[in-house]
Amino acid sequence: MSSTVLPFASPWLSLNVCLCVSPAEFMPILGTNLNPEFISVCNNATWAIGEICMQMGVEMQPYVSLVLNQLVEIINRPNTPKTLLENTAITIGRLGYVCPQEVSPMLQQFIRPW
Beta bridge partners of 9: 16
Task: Say which residue, 42 or 112, is predicted with more confidence.
Answer: 42
Q: Is residue 11's pLDDT more than 80?
A: no
User: What region does 76 belong to: left with phi over 0, alpha with psi -120 to 50, or beta?
Assistant: alpha
Q: Is residue 113's pLDDT more than 80?
A: no
Task: Say which residue, 47 or 9, is predicted with more confidence.
Answer: 47
Quote the pTM value: 0.81
pLDDT band for 25, please (50, 70, 90 cuts).
confident
Q: Tens digit of pLDDT for each residue in 30-47?
A: 999 999 999 999 999 999
Q: How far is CA 9 from CA 2, 12, 13, 66, 71, in A?
A: 22, 9, 8, 26, 26
Residues 6+ apart with CB under 8 A from 64: 95, 99, 102, 103
30, 48 contact by CB (below 8 A): yes
DSSP code at position 67: H
